[in-house]
């Protein structure tokens, strides 16, 4: 067992103390939340750096990425297989996968653009938007990779006139799931963000596309192995005393991947 695996197991054991004895006997606090969608074990081949179509992140008033966050990553291959890798969120760590999906860029109240349903189509459509092909107004890609919409050229004189492009995706059957995401960040921008602020962390996330992943919890005298599967939420915020504790556990989880 690796050092990171031991650290994660210790953190989960500490977390258990906050739950009732009955919950501890039943192991209820360690049961991941399974969504009503198909579930598959890792690895998922679509999860690779070359298949990243973009990331999404929360932005400050200057349309810069807010420090300290672990942005979501979006993947799509040539066959349209879609994955949203949600790293840190109140509802927990999750790998959402669909056999096919449509991905949209939108500025609420202004326009919504279907970016396509394959990886190449989505990446190409985003660059067309930034090359003067927005259905209304002007889309500019900042140096940090954030796509910003302006009503007209005059508005571009003040960066605070801009609105970021937000993400939306529609997953087809059997998922039938619609999701409104944060602001879109170009794939190079999101890769640079992780490499600059969390060196090596992106490489750990990419292991979800290479090997089976799991973690251990102790229930009584027994060690229970929990696999990481698609469309399952792990380490939700309400399982921890603080958001910092949740974040620490998710970081330890990712660092335990092999």
* Domain residue ranges in the chain: 3-255
The predicted-structure confidence for 90-130, as pLDDT tens digits, reads as follows 999 999 999 999 999 999 999 999 999 999 999 999 999 99
pLDDT grade, residue 26 (50/70/90)? Answer: very low
Which residues neighbour 185 within 8 Å (Cβ) at sequence distance 6 or greater? 54, 55, 56, 57, 65, 71, 144, 145, 146, 147, 193
> In this predicted structure, what is the pLDDT of residue 212?
98
What would the mean pLDDT of 229-258 be, rounded to a whole number?
Answer: 95
Neighbouring-strand partners of residue 65: 59
> In this predicted structure, what is the pLDDT of residue 16?
56
The predicted-structure confidence for 50-87, as pLDDT tens digits, reads as follows 999 999 999 999 999 999 999 999 999 999 999 999 99
pLDDT grade, residue 208 (50/70/90)? Answer: very high
> In this predicted structure, what is the pLDDT of residue 97?
95
Which residues neighbour 155 within 8 Å (Cβ) at sequence distance 6 or greater? 138, 161, 162
Exposure class string for 205-238: b at 16+ Cβ within 10 A, else e: bbbbbeeebbbebeeeeeeeebebbbbbbbbbee
- Rounded CA-CA distance 135/200 in Å is 39
> In this predicted structure, what is the pLDDT of residue 178?
83
pLDDT of 257 over the 90 cut = yes
What would the mean pLDDT of 200-204 be, rounded to a whole number?
Answer: 98
pLDDT grade, residue 15 (50/70/90)? Answer: low
What would the mean pLDDT of 135-154 be, rounded to a whole number?
Answer: 96
Q: Average the pLDDT over each of 27-41, 87-101, 210-224 and give the range with the smallest value.
A: 27-41
Instruction: Put residue 92 in one of left, alpha, beta given phi > 0 → left and psi -120 to 50 → alpha.
Output: left
pLDDT grade, residue 25 (50/70/90)? Answer: very low
């Amino acid at each position: 067992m690796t050092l990171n695996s031991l650290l994660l197991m210790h953190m989960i054991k500490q977390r258990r103390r906050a739950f009732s004895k009955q919950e501890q006997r039943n192991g209820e606090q360690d049961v991941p939340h399974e969504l009503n969608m198909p579930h598959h074990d890792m690895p998922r081949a679509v999860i690779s750096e070359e298949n990243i179509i973009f990331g999404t992140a929360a932005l400050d008033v200057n349309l810069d990425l807010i420090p300290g966050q672990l942005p979501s990553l979006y993947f799509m291959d040539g066959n349209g297989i879609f994955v949203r890798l949600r790293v840190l969120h109140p509802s927990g760590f999750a790998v959402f996968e669909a056999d096919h999906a449509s991905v949209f860029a939108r500025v609420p109240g202004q326009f919504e653009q279907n970016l396509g349903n394959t990886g190449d189509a989505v990446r190409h459509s985003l660059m067309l938007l930034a090359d003067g092909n927005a259905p209304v107004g002007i889309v500019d890609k900042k140096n940090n990779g954030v796509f910003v919409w302006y009503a007209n050229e005059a508005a571009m004189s003040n960066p605070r006139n801009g609105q970021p492009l937000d993400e939306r995706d529609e997953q087809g059957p059997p998922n039938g799931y619609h999701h409104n995401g944060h602001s879109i960040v170009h794939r190079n921008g999101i890769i640079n963000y992780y490499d600059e602020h969390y060196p090596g962390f992106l490489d750990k996330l990419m292991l979800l596309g290479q090997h089976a992943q799991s973690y251990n919890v102790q229930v009584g005298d027994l060690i229970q192995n929990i696999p990481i599967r698609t469309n399952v939420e792990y380490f939700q915020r309400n399982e921890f005393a603080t958001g910092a504790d949740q974040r620490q556990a998710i970081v330890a989880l990712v660092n335990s991947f092999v």
